[in-house]
Amino acid sequence: MFAHTLSPLATLSRRRLQLTVRTPRELLVPLVTPILFALVIAPALRTALHTDASYEAFVAIGTVGLLIPLNMMFSGLSVIVDREQGAQRELLAAPVARPLLVLGNLIVAAAITGLQIAVLIAAAAARGIHFHASTSGVLWFLAAVVTFGVGMYGLAEILAGRVPKQEEYIARVPAVAIVPWFLAGSLFPIKAMPAFLAWLAKFLPLTHGLALMRYGLLGDATGLRNIWGMHDTTAMAGLSLGVTALFALVLTAASIRVFTRSAVH
Amino acid sequence: MIEVRQLRKTYASGVEAVRGIDFDVPDGQVFGLLGPNGAGKSTTIGMLTTTIAPSGGTARVGGFDVVREPLAARRVSSVVFQEAVVDRALTGRRHLDLHARLWGVEPSAAAGRVGDLVDALGLAKLIDRPVGSYSGGERRRLELARALVSQPRVLFLDEPTVGLDPRIRHELLDLIGAWGSHAELTILVTTHYLDEAERLCDRLAIIHAGRIVALDTPAALRAALGRELLELKVDGDAAAALASLRARGIAQDDAFLVGSTVTVPLNGRTSTDAIAVVSELRLAAAVSSRPPTLDDVYLRLTGGRLAAAA
């Protein structure tokens, strides 16, 4: 049973990977803006605002919060390409459970996002940005990246399932990927915003994701405290991880439901 | 091998695409669904391949209910779609490999089958090129090879030659005909090309507005119009000309008109007598007699309502 699931899943993931590597746009475009932010804009802001070196590290993690939604949204675009010009109908006629079609794409999107984050972090470190990561910190960081990324892919699949054309999908990307990034404490702590927006930001999964990532890679629990207002940092990290995990679970389940319903007329 | 009982499909928009159709396709038979655009052919294939959910009735493919056992029904079948359903960036070989893996073909068996199909369908020079560089006919041959690599018991061909030039169309029909002669393969093909249906199919269902209006062998369908019919090209009011022929007892209920052409099955009358009446009434610019074709059967059944209304 397990082999019957894993074998087609591996086949579907391999197909998606082969298509992705033949489309450099999908690999490079999502990486451009975050790298620009981490390596050019963050040092410029540091100089202009007279902040210290830790601000560059703060923004470097903040740009991971831009990279994940952008990359996942671009991956969602390939679902529309599959449907409109690709082999989706052949896959739907295959004797495999249709949720595997979603999961096969998700695995590749997550792997490529992971690779891009590694490139971003490595570039930031090479630029002189210092991270304070312990083993457990890296695990918190990875858990935040994976759960938030999986949830964002679910959102991208749902959007791709409901939007008929690529143009309409692309028009919605800023609202889904970029607007929350400005509100989630990417470039400044959420407490710096008006009270209502700061309260609103606590409901964004990205706010929890970024707070966890900073806790993990910088050892800075300020973001978690701004959300939860507690003293036990591990408990706060666990709660934020719960939020991003729930986000991933709900959005993945919803995306599978939307895909299977939209695939069968 | 395929059993369809009172199969219906009403879309959310309210369109009744298929209105309760019944047919059986025994093992090894090539069965045609013939009808105009919008008749319900592709919806029927969609329901049999489990990409369209039936609104009512039942269908079994290879003994498996398409609603209750969709994975099993898909495992024994393959589809060649009406439109291009390919990943243009991938090579032809990758498409065949992907299909074999998804259909659970053992890798060692798949390699042999891919080689055989590549040779049989003349794909050797193309198979390692990206499919985006293929012509329409080449892509069709690849899609046929892909559908066959899992050795399906049931093959669905949804308008397989649409959009191809006549030479490539005939080549593809030869290939489909050759595979259709394999006793273990059952083929359901939809088309609106009558010559294609006659050439390929052991039996035909003519589908019109979501209903099957005739189902038999091509020869039996032709025989229903008798051995000879009269064809009139009318300058003026074709409906009035048909009414005049009916009034004189030359035309019966099975006569029909399409545009300015009136077609009258002679049902045992001699063409000489009928032509004499037509000449006497000065109804037509040109009159001829000929044996019926499948076109006549199709036009009478799908366009015949125009004649009845007239």
Mean pLDDT calculated for residue range A165-193: 90
The partner residue sitting opposite B74, judged by closest CB among A11, A12, A94, is A94
At B308, is the pLDDT very low, low, confident or very high (cuts 50, 70, 90)?
very low
Enumerate the residues of chain A whose CB falls inside 8 A of the CB of residue B90: 15, 18-19, 22
Interface size A-B, in CB pairs within 8 Å, comes to: 76
A99-150 pLDDT per residue, tens: 999 999 999 999 989 988 888 888 888 877 888 878 999 999 999 999 999 9
Chain A residue with the nearest C-alpha to that of B83: A85
For residue B195, the model assigns a pLDDT of: 79
Structural domain of A35: 2-263
d(C-alpha B309, C-alpha A201), whole Å: 68
What is the residue-averaged pLDDT of chain B? Answer: 86
**CA of A96: which chain B residue's CA is closest?**
B71
Describe chain B by its helix, strand, coil percentages, rounded to 5: 40, 25, 35
Q: How far is A166 from chain B (nearest CA, A)?
A: 17
The helix/strand/coil state of B61 is strand
Distance CA B80, CA A80 (A): 21
* Pairwise CA distance, residues B61 & B49, whole Å: 9
Nearest CA in chain A to B98: A11
N-terminal to C-terminal alpha carbon distance within chain B? 42
The verdict on B4 touching A (C-beta cutoff 8 Å) is no
Nearest-by-Cβ selection for A93 from B11, B51, B88: B51
The percent of residues in chain A predicted with pLDDT above 90, rounded, is 50
Q: Where are the domains of chain B?
A: 2-222, 226-309
Nearest CA in chain A to B80: A90
Within 10 A of A150 (CB to CB), how many other CB atoms are there?
23
> What does each C-alpha distance from B7 to A214, B57, B77, B301 come to in angstroms?
58, 4, 19, 21
Question: Does any CB of chain A come closer than 8 Å to the CB of residue B146?
Answer: yes
- Among the partner-chain residues A19, A85, A94, the one whose CB lies closest to the CB of B102 is A94
Among chain B residues, the shortest Cα distance to A263 is held by B51
Residue A2 pLDDT > 80, yes or no?
A: no
Each residue of B33-45: pLDDT tens digit? 988 888 898 899 9
Number of domains, chain A: 1
**B226-309 under CATH 3.30.70, yes or no:** yes
The predicted model scores a pTM of: 0.84
List CB contacts (< 8 A) between B99 and chain A. 90, 94
Asked if pLDDT for residue A53 goes beyond 70, the answer is no
Residue A9's nearest CA partner among A113, A117, A116, A94 is A94
Nearest CA in chain B to A265: B52
Residues of B in contact with A23 (CB under 8 A): 89
Cβ neighbours of B84 in A, within 8 Å:
85
First vs last C-alpha separation in chain A: 28
Task: For residue range B37-87, list pLDDT tens digits in order.
Answer: 888 988 999 999 999 999 999 999 999 999 999 999 999 999 999 888 999
CA dihedral over A180, A184, A190, A195, signed as positive or negative: positive
Q: Which of B75, B86, B101 sits opposite A87 (nearest CB)?
A: B86
CB contact under 8 A, A265 and B51: yes
Tell me the pLDDT of chain A averaged across its residues.
Answer: 88
Taking the Cβ of residue B74 and every Cβ of chain A, the question of whether any pair is shorter than 8 Å is answered with yes
What ipTM was predicted for this assembly? 0.83
Among the listed residues A143, A156, A113, A155, the one whose alpha carbon sits nearest the alpha carbon of residue A211 = A143
Region B263-281 average pLDDT: 80
Chain A residues closer than 8 Å to B50 by CB? 92-93, 264
Whether A93 sits inside 8 A of B75 (CB atoms) is no
Q: Tokens 């695995």 map to which residue?
A: A107
Helix (H), strand (E) at residue B154: strand B154-158
Which whole number is the average pLDDT over B270-284?
77
Top-ranked range on mean pLDDT: pick from A30-39, A46-55, A82-91, B187-196: A82-91
Chain A closest-CA separation from residue B254 CA (Å): 38
Assess contact for B59 and B122: CB atoms under 8 A: no
What one-character-per-residue DSSP string does chain A give? -HHHHHHHHHHHHHHHHHHHHT-HHHHHHHHHHHHHIIIIIHHHHHHHHT--HHHHHHHHHHHHHHHHHHHHHHHHHHHHHHHHHSSHHHHHTSSS-THHHHHHHHHHHHHHHHHHHHHHHHHHHHTT------HHHHHHHHHHHHHHHHHHHHHHHHHHHH--SHHHHHHHHIIIIIHHHHHTTSSS-GGGS-HHHHHHHTT-HHHHHHHHHHHHHH---HHHHHHH--S-HHHHHHHHHHHHHHHHHHHHHHHHHHHHHHH--
Q: Are B191 and B197 in contact (CB under 8 A)?
A: yes
Could B50 and A15 be called an inter-chain contact, meaning their C-beta atoms sit closer than 8 Å? no
Residue B165: pLDDT over 80: no
Architecture of domain B2-222: 3-Layer(aba) Sandwich (3.40)
Q: Is residue A258 a contact partner of residue A161, using CB atoms and an 8 Å limit?
A: yes
Q: B309 pLDDT exceeds 70?
A: no
Specify the 3-state DSSP secondary structure of B30: strand
Cβ of B52 within 8 Å of Cβ of A85? The answer is no
Interfacial residues of A (vs B; Cβ cutoff 8 Å): 7-8, 11-12, 15, 18-19, 22-23, 82, 85-97, 263-265
B3 or B292, greater pLDDT? B3
User: Is B102 in contact with A265 (Cβ distance < 8 A)?
Assistant: no
pLDDT of residue B101: 93
> Cα(B142)–Cα(B129) distance, rounded to whole angstroms?
11
Orientation of helix A99-126 relative to helix A53-85, angle to 10°? 150
Question: Is the pLDDT confidence value at B277 over 80?
Answer: no
